[in-house]
A and B are shown apart, each in its own frame.
Chain A
Amino acid sequence: MVNVEVMPPLMFGGLVVFLLIGFPVAFSLSAVGLFFGFLSIELGFFTPAYLGNLPLRVFGILSNDLLLAIPFFTLMGAILERCGLAEDLLEGTGQLFGKVPGGLAYAVIIVGAILGAITGTVAASVIAMGMISLPIMMRYGYDMRIATGVIAASGTITQVIPPSLVLIVLGDQLGKSVGDMYAGAIGPSILQILLFVAFIAGVSIFAPHRVPALPDEALTQRGWALWWRVLKGMVPSIVLIFLVLGTIFLGLATPTEAGAMGAVGAAGLAVLNGRFTWALIREAMGNTMRITAMVMFILIGATVFSLVFQGVDGSLWIEHLLSGLPGGQVGFLIFVNIFVFFLAFFLDFFEIAFIVVPLLAPVAAKLGIDLVWFGVLLCVNMQTSFMHPPFGFALFYLRGIAPKEVRSADIYWGAIPWVGLQLVLVAIVIFWPESVTYWLDRGTGVDPSTVRIEVPLPEMPDDDAPPVFR
């Protein structure tokens, strides 16, 4: 007789095996779920009726209006990527920073941060920056690995800087408001940019030949012409930042609607720049549709898995496993981060957010860990899943657009120091929770016990009028 306690670990094992076969993740997830579901029915852990909860869960996914942000931000990214606005921004900034050693790398980091404040998708950032700056960096003698690494890493900054799909999804999974998640992510975003800049500064001091300054002949524009160019390149970005963040701040749009604003704005800018074509929009729509369907079907597959996982008391198993960890909060956080870091080698962030985070959140809450802090920490950690050689998405995009002379090994090796920097950031956020919580709201400091609450009283009649009964 099989005991129900062995089922959860078996399911995790099955998950790894099924996913490794290489059939689409969405259907592999549901297959693991159904396989163990039928096994559980056979072994009497639950009845066939229990699987009847699936339609309700699927409907819950379709009616989760928070996930609407996914197609909106994807559409905005798809339009931006195709209409060349990001290129304008990068060219100007590159010229501006060109004469300092490491200048092009700084430009890539800054542009990555600006693009990050507009959108939440990595593809647009990496592809745009890779296409423009990688050839320039190669031409002027940048070390190949530094060049590919800085592009891939800067492209992933967008996941931590609000607005961010990861933060939206994590907020939803953790039951925290998107506003709090965004506020909590401000500190780590700044730290991350500083870390990246410091790394390049370090390289430019200790190995200046790896990040040379642009020679004079490469600086085609100077003085006012250059500044004008930079400004012109920045205008569309500022307009979009306004459309997305500004409409939220003005109270014009909810954060979800702001994504739609950004998409409409990106299309408008493409029109203004004369780059709008009907084909561009059609292509962006199709691309967005397929990404949305793909991502949401991972969720549907994951919901089959997790229904069965709940049915075999999986959440109890995880709780026992994690609550027995030594070291209280910090011990738990360190363990979880190592766990997620390794999961990120073969799962990407959607898979982690939907399968693993719901299992971790209750334990974290029980240990008294601030869930915003926890979410931002996981977000920073999961950013590495984009840069893990050899399967990180960012590296894959870069491979797709890099010139032939860039070897895959350069891209993989180039990513490693940045994954290291990311881990340093994870450690900082674990041991310095104020880096997140500082930006969250604090109280007024008034002592509640001194508070007097006066509520108007009903009028008391002077005379006691006798009641009347009819």
Chain B
Amino acid sequence: MRPLLAFSRGVDSINAAMGRVADWFVLLACAVSAGNAFVRYGISYSSNAWLEVQWYFFAGIIMLGASYTLFRNEHVRVDLVYGMLGTRARIWVDVLGIILFLLPATLLLAWMTWPFFVDSFIRNEGSPNAGGLLRWPVKLLMPLGFVLLSLQGLSELVKRVALLRGEQPEAEVVVEYHRPDQ
């Protein structure tokens, strides 16, 4: 279990760092968007590049932030039944859910989105809009995000299995679930 828990700590810290990057993307997306409006209104200048940067950041928030959100246990659940379960049963739901629900999807999507990025990269695909941005950076976010999410899934799995085996993982594990703010 020890090396696995070390792996888990490593993943947690990588995704915490990615989460911080995604935090900043929120502020940057906001600043760029407000800036676009001011500049367009003020000096009748603007460009599709700056409009596209907004949703590049948006894509970054989602793809880089989802794994940290998983770490914080903040992906919303239907807690009709889950809310009545004890801690051990909840851990079991998570263990099975990660193996049967999460990992198949994230691994499949990571595998599928990779060639999609590669094709765009090789062809040097640009934007169909005048003055727009190259597309591969935002397409790279997809395989990257799904790999990070798969890793976080493994990390959460390791921590929960350790808990079930009566070991206290040193890595932080969030078992308590709060419905997120909305």
Contact = CB atoms under 8 A, between A and B. Distances in A.
Interface in B144-171: none
A63 B138 contact: yes
Contacts of B55: 62-65, 68
B17 interface: no
Contacts of B37: 247, 252-254, 257-258, 260-261
Nearest to B104: A34
A40 interface: no
B142 A19 contact: no
A123 to B, nearest CB: 4
Interface residues on A, range: 35 or more
Main secondary structure of the interface of A (DSSP, over half): helix
Contacts of B81: 20-22
A62 B34 contact: no
B69 to A, nearest CB: 5
A26 B26 CA distance: 21
A31 B78 contact: no
B123 to A, nearest CB: 15
Contacts of A263: 30, 34
Interface string B81-116: 111010000100110110011101100110011001
A286 B23 contact: yes
Nearest to B65: A293
A391 B75 contact: no
A304 B146 CA distance: 14
Contact of A23 (B25, B72, B77): B77
B33 A260 contact: yes
Contacts of B69: 289-290, 293-294, 297
A27 B97 contact: yes
A293 B61 contact: yes
Contacts, number: 209
A121 B181 CA distance: 9
Given A63-B55, A260-B34, A261-B34, A296 B78 contact: no
A10 B102 CA distance: 21
B94 A23 contact: yes
Residue from B41, B55, B78 having most chain A Cβ neighbours under 10 A: B78
B14 interface: no
A290 B97 contact: no
A198 B106 CA distance: 51
Contacts of B70: 24
Interface stretch (A50-58, A97-105, A128-136, A232-240): A50-58
A62 B142 contact: yes
Given A27-B75, A55-B112, A292-B62, A264 B34 contact: yes
Main secondary structure of the interface of B (DSSP, over half): helix
Contact of A54 (B79, B112, B180): B112
Contact of B142 (A51, A55, A257, A397): A55
Given A251-B41, A264-B30, A297 B62 contact: yes
B181 A285 contact: no
Contact of A68 (B58, B93, B97, B180): B58
A297 B149 CA distance: 11
A301 B109 CA distance: 11
Given A21-B81, A71-B58, A293 B22 contact: yes
A123 B180 CA distance: 10
Contacts of B25: 289
Contacts of A294: 66, 69, 74-76, 180
B58 A67 contact: yes
Interface string B22-48: 111111011101101110010000000
A46 to B, nearest CB: 15
Contact of A71 (B61, B75, B83): B61
A289 B37 CA distance: 22
B76 A25 contact: yes
A31 B100 contact: yes
A68 B29 CA distance: 9
Given A62-B63, A68-B54, A123-B182, A346 B113 contact: no
Interface in A246-278: 247, 250-254, 256-261, 263-264
B75 A26 contact: yes
A122 interface: yes
Interface string A97-131: 00000000000000000000000011100000000
Given A31-B104, A55-B113, 5 more contacts: A22-B77, A34-B104, A75-B27, A257-B33, A294-B76
9 shortest interchain CB distances as A-B pairs: A22-B82, A23-B97, A24-B75, A260-B33, A31-B101, A253-B37, A293-B65, A62-B59, A30-B105
Interface of B: 19, 22-27, 29-31, 33-34, 36-38, 41, 51, 54-55, 58-59, 61-63, 65-66, 68-70, 72, 74-83, 85, 90, 93-94, 96-97, 100-102, 104-105, 108-109, 112-113, 116, 138-139, 141-142, 179-182
Interface of A: 18-28, 30-31, 34, 51-52, 54-56, 58-59, 62-65, 67-68, 71-72, 75, 78, 121-123, 247, 250-254, 256-261, 263-264, 281-282, 285-294, 296-298, 301, 304, 346-348, 391, 393, 396-397
21 contacts: A20-B81, A21-B81, A22-B77, A22-B79, A24-B97, A28-B101, A54-B109, A55-B112, A59-B139, A72-B33, A123-B181, A253-B37, A260-B30, A260-B34, A281-B27, A289-B61, A289-B68, A293-B68, A294-B66, A304-B105, A393-B179
